[in-house]
Chain A
Amino acid sequence: MKKLLSLALALILVLSLGTVAFADGATKADPTEGIEPAELTGEKLVVWTLADDLVDFGARYQAATGVEMEVVVIAPEDYPTKVQTALVGGETEPDIIVGEPQMLGDMFSYGAFADLDALGAEDYADQIVDYVWAVGKDPEGVQRAISYQITPAGIYYRRDIAEKVFGTDDPDEIGKHFADYSTILETAQTLKDAGYRIFSSDSEIGFFAGLEPWVVDGKLNLAQARLDYMDLVVALYQGDLTAYANQWSTPWYQAMSGPVPILTADIQNYADDSVNVWDAEAFAEQTADMQQTEVFAFGLPSWGVLTLRDNVGETSGLWGVCAGPEYGMSGGTFIGISELSEKKELAWDFVKFCTLNEDTAEWWITFSEGDTVSMKSVLEAHKDDENPVYGNQKLYAFWQKQAEGIDYSKVTQYDKIIGDAWGAAISAVKTGVSTKEDAIEEFYDTVAYTYPEIEIER
């Protein structure tokens, strides 16, 4: 019986796959479009990447120059392990390696990236958005990686709701309602009184919470701004001001396209499991009697432009983007050269092609359908582009302005772990699991045993 069953399962799988295996679906756009493919020169570069973008960059570079490109894609969560094992083991094969901002600190510390200044990177310093240039510098100020994109954060809001509640949908005016944490609380209350909710989840301001560095001169810095952020999240949660959805869950996505039921705190943290927040149909049924509301805003980096575009449905065109309480950023792929590469000159040419070439940046905007590039001149050229999903707002100009404000000196290599620990402390306080004092003590403990080298003043 078991044998029959598993054979049948396998057979169904094979058959159902077989019927479509060789049928043609929508194929990917051709990254070499507009280029006459060059003859192969016999030279070769090997790229190890965690972002599939570089597959397209590689194909385009090969077509343009005739250098054979071998692009190996590795799952992002394993990428640091793979590169570190290989480079510490003396591997000379990857010529190009990449990293996301939070990985770069570690990668610099074991000497993964080659010195780009020695290859002439200094001359390009003013062509790239400043914060991106700063992220790619190691602690000694040597340029080691450059990104082709910028990822500043913004508040995405519903223009129609803004018009009704605040009498204007102008991004500058709406930005004033998000100017600081106490104003956000007032805005949240105003929206609630008008029958809306300010955010879907209480984590939307997270991208703007990096006002102070976590570590200063080897000492943990729990600044007042961090405590204020904790108070804000707790107030949003306990004051019933959000729709109690978790980021990236079903109702969170649904709130992008229209009315959603107002959940309770218990549903959000799964104490009440009468509503299945991960299943659209069950969710609709179980929440049919609940009061409905519409969510006003989402806080996301510039790549959120694409997330919203895919999920807004009928509210397309009704969105706008304004500045948050602080400047913030998250993500971005930084390209550099492996210290052990034997073809550094050629590799530098590829890095320049991806990050410092106006034609490539222009092509990337079209090919990626709206990614935000890091070359100042190209952002400048697109500053009047209007995006129809966002009420014809000129988003490139907006992101460029947001990126100008980012102060990357506040970012440390400890941010990810310490930030997560702080997030856990905030959750504990907002759900009433522990008091503020206990949660902060526990946060200190977590940091102390993760990073014994950091001094902590309790």
Chain B
Amino acid sequence: MVGYRIKKGLLYAFLVLLAAACLFPFLLMMVNATRSGVEITRGFTLIPGSSLKDNMTQVFNYFNPFLGIRNSIIVAVPATLLCAYFSTLTAYGLGFYKFHGNKFIFFMILMFMMIPGQLSLIGFYNLCSKLHLVNSYIPLIVPSIASAGTVFFLRQYIISSMPPALIEAARMEGASEFYIFNRIVLPISKPAVATMGIMAFIGNWNNYLLPMILITKNEKMTLPVMMATLRSSTDIQRNQGAIYLAVAISVIPILLVFACFSKYIISSVTAGAVKE
């Protein structure tokens, strides 16, 4: 009994340590958001400084973070929804329909996962400029319909967790294929879709390269692009506090999304354990 307690105590101590290690950077970020650049380069401390107001003013001198949040939401939310819906559709199609070339298409998708998007940057810019889509959010939102990684993950999930009998039963009842997808497949794969959705949201929210290249109007920039402009100060020290503050602001929506969907993530993690 005593041995068990010690073991448990040690385990808890270890977990507390891990939790502290995870939360420490957040705390540091928040504390540094209240300190001046000179203080930050001198070293770190956990006692908040008194420069929050100055940092705030400095951020607002460069851009309006609330406008950035709005722009980022306009990009990230539709992109995430499109990515989640169409990836599930593709994954279901590849997983459950037997047709010629199924394997080949899946193989192609795997191939495309390996190609870094940065390679085609100039070509993509050319395309967008010919289509008059520079400074538009469309090239940032629509391509997320085709996300190879998400399809790959969801296909595995659907194959392993979707009972084929369920779909056959629905067909016998006379449900159309699309109806089956919307009413049966989508709800059953919800945990996996939510997990991938959060990943996609974080990815879209933090996406920097494409919006940096494609958006050239100050009022249309997404939050990460706006935040990067803080690094353009001639004096590298001065904006350090403001940068921390901007980062602190930018994680708020991610925390909120995580808070709303975390129960799906947990259920998707445990879903794997109780199967068969």
Taking CB atoms, residues of chain B closer than 8 Å to A6 are 255-256, 258-259, 262
Q: Which of A47-55, A163-171, A186-194, A405-413 contacts B (4 or more CB under 8 A)?
A: A47-55
Q: Which of B73-81, B118-126, B139-147 contacts A (4 or more CB under 8 A)?
A: B118-126
- The count of residues in chain A whose C-beta lies closer than 8 Å to any C-beta of chain B is 64
Q: Which of A80-88, A223-231, A381-389 contacts B (4 or more CB under 8 A)?
A: A80-88
Q: Which of A13-21, A130-138, A261-269, A445-453 contacts B (4 or more CB under 8 A)?
A: A13-21
Counting CB contacts under 8 A, is B176 at the interface?
no
Is the Cβ of A50 less than 8 Å from the Cβ of B232?
A: yes
Interface residues of B in 222-257 (CB under 8 A from A): 228-229, 231-235, 237, 245, 248-249, 251-252, 255-256
| A369 CB to nearest chain B CB (Å) | 10
Counting CB contacts under 8 A, is B45 at the interface?
yes
Is the Cβ of A25 less than 8 Å from the Cβ of B237?
A: no
Please report the C-alpha to C-alpha distance between residue A413 and residue B57 in the assembled complex, in whole angstroms: 39
Is the Cβ of A70 less than 8 Å from the Cβ of B218?
A: yes
Is the Cβ of A278 less than 8 Å from the Cβ of B44?
A: yes
Counting CB contacts under 8 A, is A235 at the interface?
no
Across the interface, name the chain A residue whose C-beta is closest to B224.
A75
| B259 CB to nearest chain A CB (Å) | 4
Please report the C-alpha to C-alpha distance between residue A195 and residue B121 in the assembled complex, in whole angstroms: 57
A9-B26, A13-B252 as given contacts; A253 in contact with B41, CB under 8 Å: yes
Q: Which of A37-45, A139-147, A280-288, A348-356 contacts B (4 or more CB under 8 A)?
A: A280-288
Counting CB contacts under 8 A, is B217 at the interface?
yes
Counting CB contacts under 8 A, is B134 at the interface?
yes
| B122 CB to nearest chain A CB (Å) | 5
Taking CB atoms, residues of chain A closer than 8 Å to B218 are 70-73
Please report the C-alpha to C-alpha distance between residue A430 and residue B196 in the assembled complex, in whole angstroms: 49
Please report the C-alpha to C-alpha distance between residue A254 and residue B39 in the assembled complex, in whole angstroms: 11
Counting CB contacts under 8 A, is A311 at the interface?
yes
Is the Cβ of A85 less than 8 Å from the Cβ of B213?
A: yes
| A276 CB to nearest chain B CB (Å) | 8
Please report the C-alpha to C-alpha distance between residue A40 and residue B45 in the assembled complex, in whole angstroms: 49
Is the Cβ of A74 less than 8 Å from the Cβ of B41?
A: no
Partner of B45 from A23, A46, A73, A281 at Cβ < 8 Å: A281
Is the Cβ of B229 less than 8 Å from the Cβ of A52?
A: yes
Partner of B232 from A2, A9, A74, A86 at Cβ < 8 Å: A74
Counting CB contacts under 8 A, is A274 at the interface?
no
Q: Which of A89-97, A101-109, A205-213, A420-428 contacts B (4 or more CB under 8 A)?
A: A89-97
Please report the C-alpha to C-alpha distance between residue A51 and residue B44 in the assembled complex, in whole angstroms: 28
Please report the C-alpha to C-alpha distance between residue A274 and residue B61 in the assembled complex, in whole angstroms: 41
Chain B: interface secondary structure? helix
Please report the C-alpha to C-alpha distance between residue A71 and residue B62 in the assembled complex, in whole angstroms: 11
Counting CB contacts under 8 A, is B16 at the interface?
no
Counting CB contacts under 8 A, is A458 at the interface?
no
Taking CB atoms, residues of chain A closer than 8 Å to B216 are 46, 48, 72, 86, 91, 93-94
Q: Mark B83-96, 1 if CB is under 8 A from A, else 0.
A: 00000000000000
A72-B217, A81-B213, A89-B126 as given contacts; A280 in contact with B45, CB under 8 Å: yes
Q: Which of A117-125, A153-161, A302-310, A394-402 contacts B (4 or more CB under 8 A)?
A: A302-310
Counting CB contacts under 8 A, is B82 at the interface?
no
| B233 CB to nearest chain A CB (Å) | 5
Partner of A281 from B43, B53, B258 at Cβ < 8 Å: B43
Across the interface, name the chain B residue whose C-beta is closest to A306.
B235
Counting CB contacts under 8 A, is A78 at the interface?
yes
Partner of A73 from B54, B229, B259 at Cβ < 8 Å: B229
User: Which interface residue of B45, B52, B232, B251 has the most chain A CB atoms within 10 A?
Assistant: B232
Is the Cβ of A85 less than 8 Å from the Cβ of B262?
A: no
User: Which interface residue of B43, B216, B252 has the most chain A CB atoms within 10 A?
Assistant: B43
Counting CB contacts under 8 A, is A259 at the interface?
no
Is the Cβ of B41 less than 8 Å from the Cβ of A17?
A: no
Across the interface, name the chain A residue whose C-beta is closest to B128.
A89
Q: Mark B29-52, 1 if CB is under 8 A from A, else 0.
A: 010000000100111110000001
Residues of B in contact with A, size category: 35 or more
| A418 CB to nearest chain B CB (Å) | 24
Compute the total of residue contacts between A and B using a CB distance below 8 Å: 145
Counting CB contacts under 8 A, is B171 at the interface?
no
| B142 CB to nearest chain A CB (Å) | 19
Is the Cβ of B44 less than 8 Å from the Cβ of A279?
A: yes
Taking CB atoms, residues of chain A closer than 8 Å to B228 are 74-75, 78
Counting CB contacts under 8 A, is A316 at the interface?
no
Across the interface, name the chain B residue whose C-beta is closest to A78.
B212
Is the Cβ of B41 less than 8 Å from the Cβ of A90?
A: no
Counting CB contacts under 8 A, is B180 at the interface?
no
Counting CB contacts under 8 A, is B56 at the interface?
yes
Across the interface, name the chain A residue whose C-beta is closest to B26.
A9
Across the interface, name the chain B residue whose C-beta is closest to A49.
B232
Is the Cβ of B53 less than 8 Å from the Cβ of A250?
A: no
| B248 CB to nearest chain A CB (Å) | 6
Please report the C-alpha to C-alpha distance between residue A24 and residue B56 in the assembled complex, in whole angstroms: 9
Counting CB contacts under 8 A, is A7 at the interface?
yes
Across the interface, name the chain B residue whose C-beta is closest to A9.
B255
Could you list 15 A-B pairs, sorted by A, with CB under 8 Å? Answer: A9-B255, A10-B252, A13-B248, A16-B52, A17-B245, A24-B57, A27-B61, A28-B57, A51-B232, A52-B229, A82-B212, A250-B41, A254-B42, A280-B42, A283-B43
With contacts A16-B52, A17-B56 known, what are 10 further pairs, Cβ within 8 A? A9-B26, A10-B256, A17-B248, A20-B53, A25-B54, A25-B57, A85-B125, A88-B122, A89-B129, A368-B234
| Residues on B facing A (Cβ under 8 Å) | 26, 30, 38, 41-45, 52-54, 56-57, 61-62, 121-122, 125-126, 129, 134, 212-213, 216-218, 228-229, 231-235, 237, 245, 248-249, 251-252, 255-256, 258-259, 262-263, 266
The 4 closest A-B pairs by CB, nearest first: A280-B43, A25-B57, A75-B228, A25-B53
| Residues on A facing B (Cβ under 8 Å) | 2-3, 6-7, 9-10, 12-14, 16-17, 20-21, 23-28, 46, 48-53, 70-78, 81-82, 84-86, 88-91, 93-94, 248, 250, 253-254, 276, 278-283, 303, 306-307, 310-311, 368, 371
